[in-house]
Amino acid sequence: MNNINKEWHLRNKMPKNPTFEERVNWHTAHELNCNCRTIPKHLLNKKNKKDSKIKN
C-alpha cells in the first residue's frame, strides 16, 4: 500500500487552478513529505525543457 501523509495533504492543498510553477512546487514538496504518488513524468519533462531554455 502507498504511504499517504494525510496531515501534509490537509495542510498543503493543491490550488484550484494551479499554474505550472505551482504544480511543480507542490509535487516537489509532496515528494519530500509523502509517498502516495510520484511526480507526473510530463511535468518533469516540461520542467526540464523550461530550465534548459533559461539562459542568463
Q: Give residues in contact with Zn ion (CB under 5 A).
A: 34, 36
Rounded Cα distance between 16 and 22, Å, is 11
Rounded Cα distance between 19 and 16, Å, is 10
Closest to Zn ion by CB, 24 or 36: 36
Closest to Zn ion by CB, 15 or 54: 15
Indicate the SS3 state at residue 51. Answer: helix
CB of residue 51 vs Zn ion: minimum separation in angstroms? 24
CB of residue 26 vs Zn ion: minimum separation in angstroms? 10
